[in-house]
Amino acid sequence: MVKIGVLGLQGAIPEHIRSVQTTGVEGIIIKRKEQLDEIDGLILPGGESTTMRRLIDKYDFFDALVTFGNRGKPIFGTCAGLILLANQIIGQDHAHLSLMDMKVERNAFGRQRESFEAELEIKNVAEDFEAIFIRAPSIESVGPDVEVLATYHDKIVAARQGHYLCSAFHPELTDDHRLTEYFVKMVKS
């Protein structure tokens, strides 16, 4: 059976596990880097990217996560997870995992009180996906190997580069599991 891990350091962990399980595969909360060897794909959940990076360093996950991605294992980053995947972050000297060729802006749509929902068309996923944006980042630019999957008000909010997938919004907070299903199909192939 396909096993999808959710990095269990901070963020919407149980919601991602529930979403993964609705697709018929096993969801595993990843608390130790050794567990990465047991899974076929990994979700980096939303949360707070700076805090998540501190916890990644504290629990010695950094090299293991980069190796996991470099071995061709699929990774899906949502909201803060998108920021962790980027190789450039506006206003920061250093990126985090640097696995996707994109420049991102943190809190691009405003702070917590500016959170909103919007219906999106996501290429190869849905024409009517109800997306929840909470202190969401945006992708300001992408490299030539990155496919834009969705935009909102001329800002890129979902993209794919090979075995990496990211969204600026929180698909796990809805009952629409089509984006998670898309990731599961990436893992299976």
Q: What pLDDT score was predicted for residue 107?
A: 85
Q: Which of 15, 16, 96, 172 is catalytic?
A: 172
| Mean pLDDT of the region 130-158 | 96
Q: What pLDDT score was predicted for residue 119?
A: 96
Name the β-bridge partners of 82. none
> Which domains, ranges and CATH numbers included, belong to the chain?
3-188 (3.40.50.880)
Cα gap 168→145, rounded to integer Å: 19
The pLDDT tens digits for 176-187 are 999 999 999 999
Structure tokens that stand for 24 in this block = 């018929």
Cα gap 69→84, rounded to integer Å: 12
User: Is 170 an active-site residue?
Assistant: yes
Q: What element of type H or E holds 184?
A: helix 178-188
- Ramachandran category for residue 91: left, alpha or beta (phi over 0 → left; psi -120 to 50 → alpha): left
Q: What pLDDT score was predicted for residue 47?
A: 86
The pLDDT tens digits for 63-106 are 999 999 999 999 999 999 999 999 999 999 999 999 999 999 99
Structure tokens that stand for 99 in this block = 């696995």
Rg for the chain, CA atoms, rounded = 15
Q: Strand ranges (DSSP E) for the chain?
A: 3-7, 26-30, 41-44, 75-78, 86-89, 100-105, 116-122, 126-133, 138-142, 147-152, 155-161, 164-167
Mean pLDDT of the chain: 95
Cα gap 72→152, rounded to integer Å: 29
Q: Which of 79, 96, 177, 181 is catalytic?
A: 79
User: Is 16 an active-site residue?
Assistant: no
- Report the percent of the chain where pLDDT is more than 90: 90
Structure tokens that stand for 92 in this block = 């920061």
Residue 138 binned pLDDT confidence (cut-offs 50, 70, 90): very high
- Let me know: does 14 contact 50? Beta carbons within 8 Å: no
- Is residue 108 over pLDDT 90? no
User: Is 79 an active-site residue?
Assistant: yes
